[in-house]
Amino acid sequence: GAVVSQHPSRVICKSGTSVKIECRSLDFQATTMFWYRQFPKQSLMLMATSNEGSKATYEQGVEKDKFLINHASLTLSTLTVTSAHPEDSSFYICSARDRGEEKLFFGSGTQLSVL
Amino acid sequence: LAKTTQPISMDSYEGQEVNITCSHNNIATNDYITWYQQFPSQGPRFIIQGYKTKVTNEVASLFIPADRKSSTLSLPRVSLSDTAVYYCLVGDIPAGGYQKVTFGTGTKLQVIP
Protein backbone atom coordinates (compact mmCIF):
# COMPACT_ATOMS: atom_id res chain seq x y z
CA GLY A 1 0.00 0.00 0.00
CA ALA A 2 0.89 3.66 -0.21
CA VAL A 3 3.41 5.07 2.25
CA VAL A 4 3.52 8.50 3.83
CA SER A 5 6.84 9.41 5.37
CA GLN A 6 7.00 12.07 8.07
CA HIS A 7 10.18 13.58 9.53
CA PRO A 8 11.43 14.20 12.08
CA SER A 9 9.73 11.77 14.42
CA ARG A 10 10.72 13.79 17.44
CA VAL A 11 12.07 17.29 17.93
CA ILE A 12 12.96 19.28 21.01
CA CYS A 13 13.55 22.99 20.61
CA LYS A 14 13.91 26.15 22.60
CA SER A 15 11.07 28.62 22.88
CA GLY A 16 11.14 31.17 20.07
CA THR A 17 12.71 28.94 17.45
CA SER A 18 11.02 27.62 14.32
CA VAL A 19 10.58 23.96 13.50
CA LYS A 20 9.89 22.41 10.10
CA ILE A 21 8.11 19.09 9.71
CA GLU A 22 8.14 17.26 6.38
CA CYS A 23 5.50 14.96 4.97
CA ARG A 24 6.24 12.95 1.84
CA SER A 25 4.14 10.58 -0.20
CA LEU A 26 6.70 7.98 -1.22
CA ASP A 27 5.03 6.06 -4.02
CA PHE A 28 2.11 8.15 -5.09
CA GLN A 29 1.20 11.71 -5.91
CA ALA A 30 -0.88 13.61 -3.39
CA THR A 31 -2.53 16.80 -4.54
CA THR A 32 -4.00 17.17 -1.07
CA MET A 33 -2.43 16.53 2.30
CA PHE A 34 -3.88 17.14 5.73
CA TRP A 35 -2.17 18.28 8.93
CA TYR A 36 -3.44 17.30 12.37
CA ARG A 37 -2.47 18.07 15.92
CA GLN A 38 -3.06 15.67 18.77
CA PHE A 39 -2.71 16.43 22.45
CA PRO A 40 -2.19 13.60 24.96
CA LYS A 41 -5.21 11.32 25.31
CA GLN A 42 -7.21 13.38 22.85
CA SER A 43 -8.37 12.82 19.31
CA LEU A 44 -6.74 14.21 16.20
CA MET A 45 -7.70 17.78 15.40
CA LEU A 46 -7.52 18.90 11.80
CA MET A 47 -5.37 22.01 11.49
CA ALA A 48 -5.25 22.64 7.77
CA THR A 49 -5.64 21.20 4.31
CA SER A 50 -2.57 21.52 2.14
CA ASN A 51 -3.18 21.89 -1.59
CA GLU A 52 -0.40 21.46 -4.11
CA GLY A 53 0.40 24.71 -5.85
CA SER A 54 -1.99 26.86 -3.87
CA LYS A 55 -2.54 28.24 -0.42
CA ALA A 56 -3.48 25.98 2.43
CA THR A 57 -6.92 26.08 3.94
CA TYR A 58 -6.82 26.51 7.70
CA GLU A 59 -9.41 25.39 10.21
CA GLN A 60 -11.04 27.92 12.45
CA GLY A 61 -8.82 28.93 15.33
CA VAL A 62 -5.57 27.86 13.68
CA GLU A 63 -3.17 30.74 13.11
CA LYS A 64 -1.93 30.66 9.54
CA ASP A 65 1.02 32.92 10.34
CA LYS A 66 2.15 30.60 13.09
CA PHE A 67 1.69 27.33 11.27
CA LEU A 68 3.10 27.84 7.79
CA ILE A 69 2.22 25.16 5.26
CA ASN A 70 3.94 24.72 1.93
CA HIS A 71 2.91 22.11 -0.62
CA ALA A 72 5.41 22.82 -3.38
CA SER A 73 5.25 19.45 -5.12
CA LEU A 74 2.89 16.52 -5.51
CA THR A 75 4.90 14.48 -3.03
CA LEU A 76 5.93 16.96 -0.35
CA SER A 77 4.15 19.16 2.14
CA THR A 78 5.86 20.96 5.01
CA LEU A 79 4.52 22.42 8.22
CA THR A 80 6.63 25.08 9.90
CA VAL A 81 5.82 26.01 13.47
CA THR A 82 7.17 29.55 13.73
CA SER A 83 8.39 31.05 16.99
CA ALA A 84 7.37 27.94 18.87
CA HIS A 85 6.24 28.20 22.47
CA PRO A 86 5.62 25.51 25.10
CA GLU A 87 1.90 25.51 24.35
CA ASP A 88 2.73 24.38 20.80
CA SER A 89 4.13 21.15 22.20
CA SER A 90 2.04 18.41 20.68
CA PHE A 91 1.98 15.42 18.35
CA TYR A 92 1.67 16.54 14.73
CA ILE A 93 0.47 14.11 12.05
CA CYS A 94 0.07 14.44 8.30
CA SER A 95 -2.05 12.39 5.94
CA ALA A 96 -2.53 12.07 2.22
CA ARG A 97 -4.88 10.33 -0.12
CA ASP A 98 -3.72 8.26 -3.05
CA ARG A 99 -6.22 8.75 -5.83
CA GLY A 100 -5.88 5.12 -6.70
CA GLU A 101 -7.00 4.13 -3.22
CA GLU A 102 -10.15 4.80 -1.29
CA LYS A 103 -8.50 5.64 2.00
CA LEU A 104 -6.17 8.10 3.69
CA PHE A 105 -2.62 7.19 4.59
CA PHE A 106 -1.02 8.74 7.64
CA GLY A 107 2.51 9.64 8.53
CA SER A 108 4.06 8.28 11.70
CA GLY A 109 3.76 11.63 13.45
CA THR A 110 6.15 14.17 14.94
CA GLN A 111 6.36 14.76 18.67
CA LEU A 112 7.26 18.40 19.22
CA SER A 113 8.49 19.49 22.63
CA VAL A 114 9.17 23.18 23.16
CA LEU A 115 11.22 24.04 26.21
CA LEU B 1 -19.65 15.81 7.49
CA ALA B 2 -21.51 13.22 9.48
CA LYS B 3 -20.86 13.31 13.23
CA THR B 4 -19.91 10.02 14.82
CA THR B 5 -20.46 8.74 18.33
CA GLN B 6 -18.47 5.88 19.84
CA PRO B 7 -17.96 4.50 23.33
CA ILE B 8 -15.01 6.21 24.98
CA SER B 9 -13.43 2.98 26.15
CA MET B 10 -13.82 -0.79 26.22
CA ASP B 11 -12.06 -3.63 27.98
CA SER B 12 -11.75 -7.16 26.67
CA TYR B 13 -9.90 -10.31 27.60
CA GLU B 14 -7.43 -11.88 25.25
CA GLY B 15 -8.96 -14.29 22.80
CA GLN B 16 -12.41 -12.75 22.86
CA GLU B 17 -14.24 -11.17 19.96
CA VAL B 18 -14.64 -7.42 20.32
CA ASN B 19 -17.40 -5.39 18.73
CA ILE B 20 -17.17 -1.61 18.67
CA THR B 21 -20.25 0.25 17.50
CA CYS B 22 -20.30 3.69 15.97
CA SER B 23 -23.40 5.83 15.51
CA HIS B 24 -23.67 8.15 12.52
CA ASN B 25 -27.29 9.20 12.28
CA ASN B 26 -26.82 11.87 9.62
CA ILE B 27 -24.72 9.85 7.23
CA ALA B 28 -25.08 11.06 3.64
CA THR B 29 -25.83 8.94 0.61
CA ASN B 30 -22.29 9.15 -0.75
CA ASP B 31 -20.54 8.62 2.58
CA TYR B 32 -18.39 5.60 3.32
CA ILE B 33 -17.54 4.31 6.77
CA THR B 34 -13.88 3.84 7.56
CA TRP B 35 -12.17 2.57 10.69
CA TYR B 36 -8.65 3.41 11.77
CA GLN B 37 -6.43 2.09 14.55
CA GLN B 38 -3.94 4.25 16.41
CA PHE B 39 -1.20 3.15 18.79
CA PRO B 40 0.40 5.71 21.14
CA SER B 41 2.80 8.09 19.40
CA GLN B 42 1.98 6.72 15.96
CA GLY B 43 -0.16 7.85 13.07
CA PRO B 44 -3.52 6.14 12.50
CA ARG B 45 -3.55 2.98 10.42
CA PHE B 46 -6.36 1.94 8.08
CA ILE B 47 -8.32 -1.12 9.21
CA ILE B 48 -11.40 -1.46 7.04
CA GLN B 49 -13.87 0.49 4.94
CA GLY B 50 -17.41 -0.20 3.80
CA TYR B 51 -20.57 1.26 2.37
CA LYS B 52 -23.27 -1.22 3.27
CA THR B 53 -23.91 -4.76 4.55
CA LYS B 54 -20.75 -6.59 5.53
CA VAL B 55 -17.10 -6.24 4.67
CA THR B 56 -14.40 -8.60 5.85
CA ASN B 57 -10.63 -8.52 5.48
CA GLU B 58 -7.76 -10.33 7.14
CA VAL B 59 -7.92 -8.08 10.18
CA ALA B 60 -11.55 -7.30 10.92
CA SER B 61 -15.16 -7.31 9.81
CA LEU B 62 -17.44 -4.34 9.40
CA PHE B 63 -21.18 -4.70 9.75
CA ILE B 64 -23.45 -1.97 8.41
CA PRO B 65 -27.24 -2.23 8.77
CA ALA B 66 -29.60 -1.28 5.97
CA ASP B 67 -30.28 2.23 7.31
CA ARG B 68 -26.50 2.85 7.61
CA LYS B 69 -27.03 4.96 10.73
CA SER B 70 -24.54 2.86 12.64
CA SER B 71 -21.73 0.43 12.02
CA THR B 72 -19.92 -2.20 14.05
CA LEU B 73 -16.26 -3.05 13.85
CA SER B 74 -15.63 -6.65 14.83
CA LEU B 75 -12.17 -7.83 15.86
CA PRO B 76 -11.94 -11.61 16.16
CA ARG B 77 -9.95 -13.10 19.04
CA VAL B 78 -8.12 -10.00 20.17
CA SER B 79 -4.60 -10.10 21.54
CA LEU B 80 -2.67 -7.70 23.74
CA SER B 81 -1.27 -6.04 20.64
CA ASP B 82 -4.77 -4.92 19.68
CA THR B 83 -4.78 -2.48 22.59
CA ALA B 84 -5.19 0.84 20.80
CA VAL B 85 -7.63 3.62 20.00
CA TYR B 86 -10.10 2.88 17.23
CA TYR B 87 -11.65 5.68 15.22
CA CYS B 88 -14.79 5.53 13.11
CA LEU B 89 -14.83 8.05 10.28
CA VAL B 90 -17.68 8.85 7.93
CA GLY B 91 -17.20 10.76 4.73
CA ASP B 92 -17.07 10.70 0.98
CA ILE B 93 -13.41 9.71 0.93
CA PRO B 94 -13.52 7.73 -2.32
CA ALA B 95 -14.76 10.80 -4.17
CA GLY B 96 -11.37 12.39 -3.78
CA GLY B 97 -10.99 16.09 -4.36
CA TYR B 98 -10.62 18.15 -1.23
CA GLN B 99 -12.87 16.27 1.13
CA LYS B 100 -11.48 16.60 4.61
CA VAL B 101 -11.83 13.99 7.27
CA THR B 102 -12.38 14.87 10.89
CA PHE B 103 -11.88 12.49 13.75
CA GLY B 104 -14.29 11.79 16.58
CA THR B 105 -13.28 10.83 20.08
CA GLY B 106 -12.40 7.25 19.22
CA THR B 107 -12.72 4.16 21.40
CA LYS B 108 -9.82 3.13 23.57
CA LEU B 109 -9.70 -0.66 23.61
CA GLN B 110 -7.77 -2.24 26.45
CA VAL B 111 -7.07 -5.94 26.05
CA ILE B 112 -6.50 -7.71 29.33
CA PRO B 113 -4.36 -10.85 29.67
Q: Across the interface, which of A34, A94, A106 has its CB nearest the CB of B100?
A: A34
State the smallest CA–CA distance between residue B92 and chain A in angstroms. 9
**Contact predicate B62/B76, CB 8 Å:** no
Tens digit of each residue's pLDDT (9 = 90 or more) over B14-66: 999 999 999 999 898 888 899 999 999 999 999 999 999 999 999 999 999 99
Tens digit of each residue's pLDDT (9 = 90 or more) over A49-107: 888 888 899 999 999 999 999 988 889 999 999 999 999 999 999 998 776 566 788 99
Tell me the chain B residues in contact with residue A49 when contact means C-beta distances shorter than 8 Å.
98, 100
pLDDT of residue B75: 98
pLDDT of residue A21: 97
Residue A33 reports pLDDT greater than 60: yes
Residue B2 reports pLDDT greater than 70: no
Q: Across the interface, which of A43, A57, A93 has its CB nearest the CB of B43?
A: A93
List of residues 6+ apart from B42 with CB closer than 8 A: A108, A109
The reply to whether residue A104 touches residue B45, judged by beta carbons under 8 angstroms, is no
Give, in order, the Cα–Cα distances in Å from A89 to each of A14, A95, A99, B112: 11, 19, 32, 32
